[in-house]
Amino acid sequence: MCGICGFTGEIVDQSNIVRRMADVITHRGPDSDGYYTDDKIAMGFRRLSIIDLDAGHQPIYNEDKSMVLTFNGEIYNYKVLRRELIELGHSFYTQADSEVLIHGFEEWGEKLLDRLRGMFGFAIYNKKDGSLFVARDFFGIKPMHYAVVDGHFVYGSEIKSILEFPKYKKKFNARALDNYLSFQYALPPETFFEGIYCLLPGHYLWYKNGEVTTTRYWEASFEPDNSLTEEKAVDEIEQVFEDSVNAHKISDVEVGCFLSSGVDSSYVSTYFADQKTFTVGFDFGEKYNEIDWAKGLSEKIGVDHKYKIISSEEFWGNIRKVQYHMDQPLADPSCIALYFVSKLASEYVKVVLSGEGADELFGGYTIYNEINSLRGYQKLPLWLRKALAGIVRPLPKFKGRNFILRGALSVEERFIGNAFMFNKKEKQKILKDGSIAHEPQEYTKKYYDRVKDYDDITKMQYLDINTWMVGDILLKADRMSMANSLELRVPFLDKEVFKVASKIPYQLRVNKENTKYAMRKAALRHMPKASAEKKKLGFPVPTRVWLKDEKYYNIVKDTFNSETAKKFFNSEELIKFLDDHKNGKEDNSRKVWTVYIFIVWYNIYFGDADKVTAPEGYEPPKDK
């Protein structure tokens, strides 16, 4: 795993600028660095050595050195492609997977992307015509950001690199705040920085003659095969997943595995006999601690299990560090737990496998089963359901009220993804400038329009793959592992695995018996029934408990009364949310946390207009 950055065009002090851009992402690759500069471009690279430890340094060149590559990621089928390219007459000077990209691009152009199996963000510069090609992997496992600044195309694995480009003038993007308050993350392609964009998953771009053009080359399209039997579906999942795990374990260094009590990481871990697994938890009872489950499974499958209990002080003491590494605010508290499990794993291995993507591909989230629970009620005429919703809406909360309200809505109206924090009216109430507030459904409509003929469960999965998974799940996986110079691989998010997942009828994904139904049946062949069928917890974090504790309540209250808070919000409304939660009137923990994290992040990146203030005591990794 690595970090890349660069910019086009001439500029004074070019070499030092690209080095500064690379230095701020040293954590992505502390093993070595590399640079290419000429009068048209500067390219920087930081390396975490995984494959071909001695010779796989970048930049990488083609035979006549007319093309230059910097690459972040792993190509799992590189050996097959390498043999094919050698037969076509290409000469290789390394054993690294990265060299396959430059020769492959030379041979096939953009069509190279169709042949790849892996995770990647890479840039290829053509000296002959001055063009730059940039691509991001199918699901968005690896990041890529870019901006056009005063005639320069600037890019980087992390936004931090672009902020180091001297001609970029940092400006806050209020549109991102509007979306963040509803979704709890920044919605791609926009970022919280005006003019800096996220290259979307499954896309590539060309920068030629001062123009940026982006193209979608792959999309996660579901094509359910209703003739597929349960046994056949389970067989295909088991076969393709075993193949994917084995491909993802290819490395010249030791590979470990994250392990929770859930089926996703547990399934991955069953292929790790005699190797290491890693788990973290909190000292707040079984609800917030999966260590005993993970320990028990580890004993059964024969792996060396490492774990850590995160104290309240450690968690709160690392919030700033985590948000610094995120680049943009992310109000998912599990990202901090992920930071600690990555830190733990980095003490033993350089590479870990994890279970991200299984829920989105195979239908794992509990909310997906809402379709089945509402199916009978939604047979009533729409006018009647709307009337009932109108009657109960002004009433105090009672059991079944939410069912009636949600049953009056279509899936497009009620589901914006796994996190729904504030609607338009709530945003208008808490924001100083309520004019920026929009309904989140205005954003999700374009995704629903693409799958309007699908069943509702598939619609929800498609939306999550394109929004929630990119903006939350994969963002925190990349940033938290890379913050600890650890490569994280996700075998569920493999093109071949998706080919199988895309064929499975929705009844074998989500039904009354369970979510991820067919995938759990495949996992059951490798692990105890209790683990294969256990409900998903993820990384449960006791934020709702902390926000009732006097110490942490006061930390948040002081933050809500700060000058930064008052710049954007009506502080009295924020404190009302906080007090109602503390007093047990309403569980506002997620909404409170969303606003709190934004303020913490803003103080890091915009508290001083001229610089980013890294957390106190933070020291980036030194070159090895």
- 114-153 pLDDT, tens digit per residue, is 999 999 999 999 999 999 999 999 999 999 999 999 999 9
Residue 99 lies in a domain: yes
CA distances from 406 to 383, 401, 514 (A): 14, 9, 21
Query: Among residues 407, 338, 344, 337, which one has the least CA distance to residue 371?
Result: 407
- Dist. CA 467–CA 229, nearest whole Å: 30
pLDDT value for 89: 96
- Dist. CA 259–CA 433, nearest whole Å: 44
Contacts 24+ apart (CB under 8 A), 89-97: 90/63, 91/63, 93/55, 94/52, 94/55, 94/56, 94/60, 95/51, 95/52, 95/55, 95/56, 96/51, 96/52, 96/55, 96/56, 96/60, 97/51
With beta carbons less than 8 A apart as the criterion, state whether 42 and 17 touch: yes
Same domain, 44 and 145: yes
Place of tokens 């933070």: 618
- Judging by DSSP bridges, how do beta strands 276-282 and 304-310 pair with one another? parallel
Percent of the chain with pLDDT over 90: 85
Split into its structural domains, the chain has a count of 4
Same domain, 187 and 83: yes
| Rounded mean pLDDT, 253-257 | 91
| Helix ranges restricted to H, 286-423 | 291-301, 312-317, 319-326, 334-346, 358-362, 370-375, 382-392, 401-407, 411-414
Same domain, 513 and 574: no
Residue 615 lies in a domain: no
Rg of the Cα atoms in the chain: 24
Both tokens assigned to 570: 């009506």
Amino acid at 621: P
Same domain, 439 and 514: no
pLDDT value for 125: 98
Residue 317 lies in a domain: no
Residue 351 lies in a domain: yes
Both tokens assigned to 472: 């939350």
Both tokens assigned to 149: 């600044």
What pTM, to 2 d.p., does this model score?
0.94
Place of tokens 């690294």: 96
Residue 55: CATH number of its domain: 3.60.20.10
> Domain boundary at 216, 250, 281, which?
216
Amino acid at 530: A
Both tokens assigned to 226: 């209703």
> Domain boundary at 216, 246, 271, which?
216
- The residues, ordered by sequence, that sit 6+ positions from 362 with a Cβ below 8 Å of its Cβ are 237, 492, 501, 504, 509, 516, 518, 519
* Catalytic residue from among 2, 5, 257, 335: 5
Same domain, 57 and 74: yes
Q: What sign results for the dihedral spanned by CA atoms 338, 170, 471, 100?
A: negative
- The residues, ordered by sequence, that sit 6+ positions from 397 with a Cβ below 8 Å of its Cβ are none
* 49 has pLDDT over 70: no
Per-residue confidence at 1, pLDDT binned at 50, 70, 90? Answer: low
Q: What is the DSSP string of 492-513?
A: TS-HHHHHHHTTS-GGGTB-SS
Better-scored residue on pLDDT, 538 or 405: 405
Q: What is the DSSP string of 405-420?
A: HHHTS-HHHH-SSS--
Segment among 298-302, 321-325, 366-370, 499-503 with least mean pLDDT: 298-302
Per-residue confidence at 457, pLDDT binned at 50, 70, 90? Answer: very high
Q: Where are the beta strands (DSSP E) in 13-92?
A: 32-37, 41-47, 60-61, 67-75
Both tokens assigned to 591: 């909404």
Percent of the chain with pLDDT over 70: 95
| Rounded mean pLDDT, 494-504 | 97
CA distances from 13 to 10, 144, 233 (A): 9, 24, 58
Query: Among residues 117, 304, 209, which one has the least CA distance to residue 104?
Result: 117
Active site residue 257: no
Residue 502: CATH number of its domain: 3.40.50.620
Same domain, 349 and 403: no
Same domain, 207 and 172: yes
Same domain, 374 and 360: no
Instruction: Name the residue range of residue 525's domain.
Output: 230-312+330-364+466-532
